[in-house]
Amino acid sequence: MTTADPLLGCHVSVAGGFDRAVQRGEKTGCTAIQIFTRNQLRWKSGLLSERQIKDFRHALKTSGVREVCAHGSYLPNLASPDPESRRRSIESVREELCRCGSLGIPFLIVHPGSHLGEGESAGIRRVVSAVDEAFGKDPGSVKLLVETTAGQGTSIGYRFEHLRDIIAAVGPERAGACLDTCHVFAAGYDLKEDEYDRTLERWERIVGLPHLHVIHLNDSKGAVGSRIDRHEHIGEGAIGIEPFARFMRDERFVRIAKIFETPKKKDGADMDRENLKLLVRLSQG
Ligand SMILES: [Zn+2]
Ligand SMILES: [Zn+2]
C-alpha cells in the first residue's frame, strides 16, 4: 500500500478487541476504517484498559490502515426535549469523545437527532447546547462530525443548512461534517449525472468543503427524496454506479476518508471485499 492508494474502507467489527478491527480492515484491503468504540445498543460501558489502548495503537502502527473514525452509538438523541433522555445522550457522547481521545481517533460521527415535534430550529438549538455540554472544557482533540440524514420522522440533518448552523454554533474546531451519499440522496439531493455537480456545489456554498472530514459511500434502496435510510451495495441501488466513480475521482476528496456501510454478505460472499475492489477500480477510471 502506498499513500497514492485512496483513503478507503468500511465499517468493521471490534469483536475480540480494537486491534482485531484493524486486522479485519487490513485483511479486507482497507486504508481507512470506521468502528464503534463500544456496544452501540447499550448506554453504559466500562473504561478502556491500558492494554486495549496499547494493542490498538500498535495494530494501527503496523498496518496499512492510515485513518480510523468512530461512529457513535445509535441511542443518544442530542435534540431530545425530554430532560432525562437529553442527560443520558450528553453523557453518552461525552464518554465516546473520551474513548476516541484515548484511542487517538480524530473523528466521532453522530446523527444530530430528532426534535420529536418541537420544530427544527428548536431541535438545532438543543443539539448545539448538548454538544457544548458533552465537550465541557475539553478543547476538542476529537472532532464531532455531524452526519447528513435521510430525514426520517422528525430527524434533523437532512438539509445542508442544518449542518451549517450546528457547525457554526458549536465552532469548527470541535465540529465538522460527514456526508453520507445514501442519506443525502434519500433526503432529495440527487447525485446522478449533472446533479452530482449541482449537489456538491450546494454543499460547498452552504456547508463548505473544509468542514467535510468523512464521506460515507452507500448506495440507496430508496429513491431520491424517499427519506428512506436503507443502504444498498455500491452500484446496486437507486444511486447507481456512476456517481460513486465521481466521488472516487474527485480531486476535492482525495484526502478525505471514504467509508462504506453496506450489508456484509450476499449469498455467502464477503461483500466488503467486493465493494472495496469495485470502488478502487472506479477510482482508477
Ligand atoms: Zn452513514
Ligand atoms: Zn444510513
| Ligand 2 center from residue 177 Cα (angstroms) | 15
**CA–CA dist 43, 89 (Å, integer):** 9
Mean pLDDT (the chain) is 95
Q: Is the pLDDT of residue 1 over 50?
A: no
A 10 A CB-CB count for 130 gives: 24
pLDDT at 68: 98
pLDDT attached to residue 4: 65
To which residue does cell 456554498 refer?
205
Pairing verdict, β 219-220 and 231-232: antiparallel
Contact 232, 221 (CB under 8 A): yes
At 214-247, the pLDDT tens digits run 999 999 999 999 999 999 999 999 999 999 999 9
The per-residue pLDDT for range 32-57, each reduced to its tens digit, is 999 999 876 777 777 899 999 999 99
Domain 8-284 has CATH 3.20.20.150: yes
Map out the domains of the chain as residue ranges: 8-284
Dist. CA 172 → ligand 1 center (Å)? 20
Q: Tell me which ligand sits closest to the C-alpha of residue 230.
A: 2
Please state the pTM of the whole predicted model: 0.96
Among all ligands shown, which has an atom nearest to the Cα of 214?
Answer: 1
Residue 116 pLDDT > 70: yes
Percent of the chain with pLDDT over 70: 98
- Helices 271-284 + 241-249 axis angle, to 10: 60
Average pLDDT over residues 192-203: 98
Of 112, 125, 97, 119, the residue nearest 38 (C-alpha) = 97
**Ligand (nearest to CA of 71):** 1
Sign of the C-alpha dihedral, residues 196, 201, 204, 207?
negative
User: CB atoms < 10 A from the CB of 138, how many?
Assistant: 13
- E strand or H helix at 185, and its extent? helix 181-186
| Res. 66: pLDDT tops 50 | yes
Compute, in angstroms, the gap from residue 229 CA to the centroid of ligand 2. Answer: 5
What separation in Å is there between the alpha carbon of 87 and the centre of ligand 2? 25
Q: Report residue 2's pLDDT band, with 50, 70 and 90 as the boundaries.
A: very low
Ligand that lies nearest to the alpha carbon of residue 180, given by its number in the listed order: 1
